[in-house]
Structure 1
Amino acid sequence: MEITRRYFPMEWEERWRKEKERRRKVMEEGGEKFEEEDRKLKYIVAYNSSRMGLKDTEETRRDSKGKQEEDDSETTVEDQVKIYCRHSYPTEILQTLDDLRQSSHLTDLTLSTEDGLHFQAHSLVMAAVSSTIKQMVQNSDEDRESALTIVMGPEVSRSGLAAMLEFAYTGDMPSLSEDSLAQIQTAAQSLGVLRVLELCRKEEEKENKKGAGGGEEKKKKEKIRKIFAAEQMKITLESMKQLWAERVGCDVELEAEGRRFHAHRVILAASSDYFRGMFMSGMRESQQQCVTLLMLGATELDALLQCSYTGNLTLAWDCIFELACTALQFQFHYALSLCLDFLQKEMDTDNCLDVISFAEAYEMGELHELAEDFVLMHFHEVAATPKFQDLSAEKLLDFLQHDGLSVPSELAAFRAAVTWVQADPLERMSQARELMSGVRFPLMTFREFREVRAINLQMECSGGDEVDLYKSALKQFGFGHSDSEIRRRVRRPREALVLVGGDQLHPDVGPRLPSRQLWFVNLLYSGTGMVKDMEWRKLGEMPDHARFRHGVGVLEDKLYVVGGCHFYAKTDTMKSVYRYTPVSDTWERLADMNEHRSNFTVVVRGHILYAIGGDKDISANLDSVEMYCPDTDSWRFVCPLDQALSGHAATVWGGEIFISGGFNCHYQCLVSMFVYHPENGTNYLSDMNHDRAQHCMENFRGLFYVAGGVCNLRKFYTDQLACEIYNPLNDSWNTFTPLPIPHVGAASAILEEKLYILGGYCQEDYSESRLVHRYDPAFQRWENMGRMPGPTSDLRACLLHLPDHLRK
């Protein structure tokens, strides 16, 4: 199978050469087998064309994003190896198995009632819930030529048996009620379904407590039932994995590179369109006990089988491309989605060009777009890597000409082009003039343009070419387009930085004005030299009251706005909660917190929101913490802090909540840093170098950047300009570049891997900071990004995926 490619870095050329050599050896050793394998692949593609192909793969992946795919990747770091988990996999694979059952595909078990009603099922699924069927499958493993048939006794009814099948494939039994309890219990006892017997016992205990309940109560029960069903399907999948490990009911062996792997046909068919076509198309492999796969490596097959039974993949950069290729070729959709997730989330400056090559080779449009955008965003760092020198002139020019190219100044784009040319001057000097057409010389300052002349004098080229190249740059620099909107670089971040609420001084220096407004950053501009700016757009307004000193959290692309103050009196602290859904541009009121809170933090840990500490009113702060469960729309208290705290900052890393600084019960600024656990409480870590409150803390690549706020440097509060970084791996602090101006009570966010500090005020004279500053870790400096659009103090920021119609 030849692949159309536009360019490949050297590493990928070598990999492709080795793959072709391996295929040639296979042809020499068994040409007929190879041709047969190739025939099978083409046959299966034709057989399942409506579901196969890369387009369908990416559509499937996009569709699954609504099922928490954005949160489906948990990583465990050890020597660059990461475990990617698809948490929705138990539900998805069992749904697919149920679809196969409904159409009687690959069913090898018949359950019959005494009155002659037959139910088709898969022995693997039923053995995962029934001890009776598991024992029968174990006993019949020596003879797998015929399907199993079980005739139930007269005590087992149709409805009871149907409930067992429904539980096995869905984890749910909506038919379980006081009227059906006895029939279901009898069927569960006959088949040894212990989990259903436990459900029946709980149902009996609830009989005397049942009430009609209102509409809201029924909705809560329905949500709880869905959560329970998901847990049951997880247990069922784990049981199926155990049966696989014990080789119970395995009905096929796969051979790859001389190694044999046992498996269940139905699991292979449910997780791979390739094997579904093989086992359901009437091909001879559907009857064979052992299937030889000449185009599949043993290591890749082992990983894909593990994923089929668990929904997990162990991934690293030294194996990701081979595994993704194999998952694509053999149509393991779930494994492929995890591979693509890894490529997107673990991409860095050293491998992003490899990802582009891979995406181009296999025509993965979405991945290609993301990888190219990553290069545009990190162009300066990517240009310093060895693989940058392997780019084609055409590709480099595409990057240089792109409006979204993000560089500190246009001089960086020029330097990158020069570096590429000087890597092979004899071959590339002829392309220099064309490359320089992508550099926007009018965006350079006079000081920067002096370097252009100096570098051109050093380039090894003929005198005529040198003069022409310089004159071309000079012409652009001196006679560039006068329209600044056309000349500057314009970048549109994939995620929108959203500002929520806050307050500000009246324009006439009158009373303060709390805000209901939401603003977002739509575009980032790079102008002449280091000049930066942002395009702000109004997203809308919060319902109910204006609010400041509130909390915000983002979960499943929805914005939660919690608590805060709507004015400045003692009774103006709120406990109300609202949720904003960008796709529908709608708000909904949720359950109130138990406490009134302001000047507190909200963090998202897993699928739960936590409201931590804060001020109950203007004179007392809190040590309480409460958690919100979106599935049940309810708040409950968890382990409190070991002291009252407000004005602190918090972030989540590695599943743990880290909290820094803040005011204690005497409203003194703290130096503390600690891990808070909702069940176990507080564990203190190394103190910060500086005390602070009303500050910002953001997690970027496993380092916590702390900036702004106030401190107790003198008798009265004063501005804290010092900034520091915490490393949780070695529990240590280091300083980084101080803020250029005070930012007390500011908002913060990490956008495109840069730290934004937005607004706030100066403690010395209470003047407002209407500026946005951005810290670039690569250059270790703060940049002025322009002015705030509205509210400036005690506001909150977050990142949201906004639909296109809100951004155009």
Structure 2
Amino acid sequence: MFSILAKLFHSLNLIILPCYVDSPNLLVRKVKSNKSCIHSNHDRFELVDQFEKDLGRMAASGDVGKLLQVQNGTPANTTYSGVDAVHACNILQQLKALYDEAQLTDIVVEVDHGKRFSCHRNVLAAISPYFRSMFTSGLTESSQREVRLVGVESESMHLVLDYAYTSRVMLSESNVQALFTAASIFQIPALQDQCAQFMISRLDPQNCTGVYMFADAYGHQLLRERSQDYIRKKFLCVAREQEFLQLTKEQLVSILNNDDLNVEKEEHVYESIVRWLEHDSPRREAHLAEVFSQCIRLPLLDDSFLSRIPAPFACALSLSREPAEAKARLNGCSQRLGMTASEMVICFDAAHKHSGKKQTVPCLDTAAGRLFKLCKPPNDLREVGILVSSENDIFIAGGYRPSNSEVSIDHRAESDFWQYEHAGNRWLARSPMLRARIGCRLVHCCGKLYALGGRVYEGDGRNALRSVECYDARDNCWTAVSPMPVAMEFHSAVEYRDRIYILQDEYFFCFDPRKDYWGHLSPMSVPRSQGLVALHKNCIYYIAGICRNHQRTFTMEVYDIEQNTWARKKDLPFDQATSPYIKALLLQGKLHLFVRATQVMVEEHVFRTSRKNSLYQYDDKADAWTKVYETPDRLWDLGRHFECVVAKLYPQCLQKVL
């Protein structure tokens, strides 16, 4: 018991003084004062919070004296020296007060545009080796009352001083690089690292190349690696940006000469090099052969593509008259990461046959007939909102954690929000939603992600939600937007040309994120909920669902968005007796249905149930569905609430099942 307390006091930087034995309550107050000073460290704060009550009871019982025996086994009557963590906090606060009041300042720092700051030499010297050397070297600056710094912006100096006196820093996209530069000049690595983390959190296809060049110029390893990884991951988008053309030869080679480049064809690498070359041909032509030799994997280029390469570039590639001969000389080169990607059907809320109700996330590669497993959602979350963005990012939001109770009202909604990392086959936590939700719909629109509706179990029972919130990946934060006109939990949602379309029962709404406005559209002819929705060829397909009389229907209607008209199509070719559970998805550019059908067979007067999972493909011209694939029934089954999405996954990053 007391050894644990010793560790606690050590973590608080608090050594027990003899006076605490005579006055136990003083010890309690001391812990409380330390507690108020360590609020920034959540784990330590929680430890003190739990310990505080026990310490009070020990003070009342007179057992506090025994604590003196836990410090390295020293007898209780030994003299001790104390370290007061609050003292450091108070010193910093008082120094900041003196700075704000311009009291006892002994140096004036002048930066660009003549901005002057009165401050304290010892504070500057304490945080910066640059200033320490300036003030203690015995040179002219050490005795001057004023020093002038060239190349330091006034806002950056203000932020550096604020950090020096408070340990806090306020970062924004407009000030972070200038502050990083100032921190580099003043040799403050902790401040540089905070700036780097801020820039990493805001990487996007438009700025990542500039951040990479910035990090390379300053030699910041982490920022350089993360920005380079981002460029490779989003290469096709990044290579179209103007900043990509500003890369040096060495930087370009460092990016392209890597297995993790996310390209489906080596031709994309060739085209990016040619574009980079043509941006500054006179100075870059001499480097072309070197760049080609280090970056282009010749065997991965298609023969017909090679035959069309212009003569100067073909010469730089060292191609002979017969491209096949040149390719034959280079064997054994590895594929890029993007070349291994396969479009797969991912099933959430699937249950493993041999592990009770434990969830698995099977991934079916229909083209190769292979089955893999994706890392399951954290905390075994069920009925989450799921989205695969146009950039192949996978998100899940909300849901509930399974418990021993089978009663739905006991399902506590969660606000968790996660993004899947392909290379690591893991889920990365993002900022949680403002509102906990079960079964919400996620839609990507205008560069942001929207969580719409869902349900919670609160108060008098099950409650559908009207609320809508928007996630901005650049700031990693959610904001509330205008709620839906009515609460919805069995709705469907799709995005088309920067608008979100929501359908349920007799309701059909269109949301314009730029205007934060909800509009009403003509409803479908057969009102129903829990239907399936898919956007295909500029039309919204609404498939199956539950009618108002609680009967299932296999009706399919199509909404022409441009014409603002509904059209009835043939019903789905399924039998109610098979209790099919259906999900709509776009696979290889075509509309498909993933169907779980149950068959009941009688064998020797014994009823046996079997389930078959199949893919049906839609023929637009014939208005007909055809079974094109029957999934392997190996190791997994689907629950009634399963969801399907399609994404490109990397087989080498997944666990193979079949």
Q: How does the TM-score come out when normalised to structure 1?
A: 0.43
Say which of 350, 371, 395 aligns to 1:503: 350
Structure 1: runs of 5 or more not aligned: 1-94, 103-114, 118-154, 184-206, 208-231, 507-512, 526-530, 554-558, 583-602, 616-621, 627-636, 676-682, 698-705, 725-732, 734-742, 749-755, 772-785
Cα offset, 1:549, TM superposition: 3.2
Residues 104-115 of structure 1 aligned to structure 2 (within 5 Å): none
Alpha-carbon contact 2:415-2:433 (below 8 Å) kept = no
- Which amino acid in the other structure matches residue 337 of structure 1? D
Counterpart in the other structure of 2:336: 489
Say which of 316, 321, 345 aligns to 2:173: 316
* Cα distance change on mapping 1:470 and 1:614 into 2, 3 Å: same
Structure 2: runs of 5 or more not aligned: 1-9, 40-44, 61-85, 388-395, 419-427, 441-452, 493-502, 565-580, 599-610, 617-630
Say which of 594, 604, 618 aligns to 1:761: 594
* Cα distance change on mapping 1:336 and 1:718 into 2, 3 Å: farther
> How many Å separate the matches in 2 of 1:412 and 1:645?
45
Say which of 134, 158, 163 aligns to 1:302: 158
> How many Å separate the matches in 2 of 1:241 and 1:305?
11
Alpha-carbon contact 1:518-1:542 (below 8 Å) kept = no
> How many Å separate the matches in 1 of 2:179 and 2:134?
21
* 1:290-310 CA distance string (max 9 Å, x none): 563535624221122234437
Counterpart in the other structure of 1:166: 34
Residue aligned with 1:761, SS: strand
Counterpart in the other structure of 1:794: 642
> How many Å separate the matches in 2 of 1:547 and 1:161?
43
Say which of 657, 663, 685 aligns to 2:490: 663
> How many Å separate the matches in 1 of 2:28 and 2:167?
30
Alpha-carbon contact 2:415-2:437 (below 8 Å) kept = no
Residues 189-200 of structure 1 aligned to structure 2 (within 5 Å): none
* Cα distance change on mapping 1:718 and 1:332 into 2, 3 Å: farther
> How many Å separate the matches in 1 of 2:372 and 2:235?
25
> How many Å separate the matches in 2 of 1:689 and 1:443?
51
> How many Å separate the matches in 2 of 1:667 and 1:768?
27
> How many Å separate the matches in 1 of 2:141 and 2:30?
29
Residue aligned with 2:411, SS: strand
Cα offset, 1:340, TM superposition: 0.5
Say which of 240, 260, 265 aligns to 1:404: 260
> How many Å separate the matches in 1 of 2:221 and 2:102?
41
* 1:406-442 CA distance string (max 9 Å, x none): 2242222222222233445555445444444433454
Q: Does 1:454 align with 2:308?
A: yes
* 1:701-725 CA distance string (max 9 Å, x none): xxxxx9997577999465689899x
Say which of 612, 618, 623 aligns to 2:437: 612
Cα offset, 1:547, TM superposition: 8.1
Residues 539-550 of structure 1 aligned to structure 2 (within 5 Å): 539=375, 549=383
Q: Does 1:255 align with 2:109?
A: yes
The CA RMSD over aligned residues, in Å, is 7.1
Q: How does the TM-score come out when normalised to structure 2?
A: 0.51
Say which of 514, 517, 522 aligns to 2:360: 517
Say which of 187, 191, 196 aligns to 1:335: 191
Residues 375-454 of structure 1 aligned to structure 2 (within 5 Å): 375-425=231-281, 428-437=284-293, 438-445=295-302, 449-454=303-308
> How many Å separate the matches in 2 of 1:363 and 1:768?
54
* Cα distance change on mapping 1:343 and 1:429 into 2, 3 Å: same
> How many Å separate the matches in 2 of 1:429 and 1:251?
58
Alpha-carbon contact 1:552-1:561 (below 8 Å) kept = no
* 1:16-51 CA distance string (max 9 Å, x none): xxxxxxxxxxxxxxxxxxxxxxxxxxxxxxxxxxxx
Residue aligned with 2:170, SS: strand
> How many Å separate the matches in 2 of 1:329 and 1:177?
48
* Cα distance change on mapping 1:760 and 1:467 into 2, 3 Å: closer
Alpha-carbon contact 2:231-2:238 (below 8 Å) kept = yes
Counterpart in the other structure of 1:475: 325
* Cα distance change on mapping 1:478 and 1:282 into 2, 3 Å: closer
> How many Å separate the matches in 2 of 1:236 and 1:707?
63
> How many Å separate the matches in 2 of 1:443 and 1:453?
14
> How many Å separate the matches in 2 of 1:538 and 1:467?
40
* Cα distance change on mapping 1:415 and 1:242 into 2, 3 Å: same
* Cα distance change on mapping 1:423 and 1:562 into 2, 3 Å: closer
* 1:291-348 CA distance string (max 9 Å, x none): 635356242211222344372324335x543321221332444532331123223334
Alpha-carbon contact 2:215-2:223 (below 8 Å) kept = yes
Q: Percent identity?
A: 16
Say which of 132, 147, 171 aligns to 1:292: 147
* 1:110-139 CA distance string (max 9 Å, x none): xxxxx9x9xxxxxxxxxxxxxxxxxxxxxx
Cα offset, 1:575, TM superposition: 2.5
Cα offset, 1:501, TM superposition: 4.8
Residue aligned with 2:260, SS: coil
* Cα distance change on mapping 1:387 and 1:245 into 2, 3 Å: same
* Cα distance change on mapping 1:393 and 1:430 into 2, 3 Å: same
Residue aligned with 1:611, SS: coil
* Cα distance change on mapping 1:382 and 1:167 into 2, 3 Å: closer
* 1:559-587 CA distance string (max 9 Å, x none): 999537899x996886279999x9xxxxx
Residue aligned with 1:360, SS: helix
Alpha-carbon contact 2:596-2:613 (below 8 Å) kept = no
> How many Å separate the matches in 2 of 1:237 and 1:798?
58
* Cα distance change on mapping 1:532 and 1:519 into 2, 3 Å: closer
Alpha-carbon contact 1:252-1:262 (below 8 Å) kept = yes
Say which of 214, 225, 234 aligns to 1:358: 214
Counterpart in the other structure of 2:570: none
Counterpart in the other structure of 2:63: none
Alpha-carbon contact 1:613-1:644 (below 8 Å) kept = no
Cα offset, 1:668, TM superposition: 2.4
> How many Å separate the matches in 1 of 2:282 and 2:139?
59
> How many Å separate the matches in 1 of 2:198 and 2:386?
28
Alpha-carbon contact 1:563-1:575 (below 8 Å) kept = yes
* Cα distance change on mapping 1:561 and 1:807 into 2, 3 Å: farther
Counterpart in the other structure of 1:575: 411
Aligned length: 485
> How many Å separate the matches in 2 of 1:270 and 1:533?
64
- Which amino acid in the other structure matches residue 337 of structure 2? V
> How many Å separate the matches in 2 of 1:690 and 1:477?
59
Counterpart in the other structure of 1:630: none
Residue aligned with 1:502, SS: strand
> How many Å separate the matches in 1 of 2:305 and 2:644?
42
Q: Does 1:367 align with 2:192?
A: no
> How many Å separate the matches in 1 of 2:531 and 2:189?
47
Alpha-carbon contact 1:707-1:721 (below 8 Å) kept = yes
- Which amino acid in the other structure matches residue 663 of structure 1? F
Alpha-carbon contact 1:272-1:330 (below 8 Å) kept = yes
Alpha-carbon contact 2:270-2:296 (below 8 Å) kept = yes
Alpha-carbon contact 1:563-1:574 (below 8 Å) kept = no
